[in-house]
Amino acid sequence: MKGSRHAEPPGRIHMTNEHPHARGGKFLEGQTALVTGASRGIGRAVARRLAAAGACTYLNYLKNEASAEETLSMITGAEGSGMLLRFDVADFGAAQEAVQQIIRERGTLDILVNNAGITLDGIFVRMGPDDWNTVIDTNLKGALNCTRAALRCMMKQRRGRIVNISSIVAETGNPGQAVYAATKAGLLGLTKSLAREFASRNILINAVAPGFIETDMTAAIPEAPRADVKKMIPLERLGTPDDVAGAVAFLVSKDADYITGQVIHVNGGLYM
Ligand code: NAP
């Protein structure tokens, strides 16, 4: 039977392709996570996934309290544990205070997912500093602010996981998204530099780069260009927030103990 595809008796063959994490194993039991921008979209799906895996998950948001409450109800309704934590990631002091609050309440911060982000698309020459400062402040400085706060705690613990949500456009570029793409490419430089800087402290830092994911951010894109993008995706569908959450959950799991400074693309094959 050596080399045979039937080396095991049929009764012992693992019949499912489902990953154990998808079955709700509590592989993050006892850990504390902070997900920025967790009121909607990808952040909500990530927060739900981490909470389902047993992490006490802090849900950051900026304005949309009702939606953040809804994420929290979804988590508690599934017997997960979570807390709302409203602050503007672009505000350095607020980010430090928020992380301090987590440490006071939980004594630890094990996982940070820098997900909060905004787009402000337009022809570059029609944009001015006020426009691009908003995008840079949220997408890039927001990650710097939260990472700096989290690292202080993770360094003491000599343990931590950080996942930065970048974008496919960081690598491909996109007309009309120069500033947004610059912030997302900046996150990749940040990820790789910090991964090298903090590897010796057992702090693993990776990025996930989603393609076209159906959320509020992409809802305004008209049907025709949506259909055009769909045609270019080898897997022939747009992505869901859960598709991204799966990659994040993997990166914060024990299965990713030897992975740092990497970018996982979740894009249905749109960019390889
Ligand atoms: P979304 O549905 O628009 O949600 C954005 C989230 O970020 C909301 O929870 C929002 O909070 C929060 N937020 C915005 N500014 C904030 C700030 N200054 N401080 C704290 N929270 C803030 O976006 P999404 O599509 O889920 O995108 C999530 C991340 O994935 C973003 O970084 C985005 O760039 C990236 N991404 C998305 C796609 C896609 O196709 N959707 C593709 C590639 C990358 P409120 O609800 O309170 O406003």
pLDDT tens-digit readout, 45-98:
999 999 999 999 999 999 999 999 999 999 999 999 999 999 999 999 999 999
Please say if the pLDDT value at position 243 is more than 80.
yes
Q: Which two tokens stand for residue 191?
A: 């990820």
Percent of the chain with pLDDT over 90: 90
What per-residue confidence (pLDDT) applies to 236?
97
Contacts of 269 (CB under 8 A, 6+ apart): 233, 234, 235
Cut 0.85: pTM above it:
yes
- Rounded CA separation 140/144 (Å): 6
Measured in angstroms, how far is the CA atom of residue 2 from the centroid of ligand 1? 51
Q: What is the mean pLDDT of residues 21-37?
A: 86
- Rounded CA separation 260/145 (Å): 20
Residue to mutate (ligand 1; options 46, 85, 168, 217; most atoms within 8 A of CB): 217
Mark whether 58 is an active-site residue: no
Q: Could you identify the atom of ligand 1 that is nearest to the CA of residue 116?
A: 7
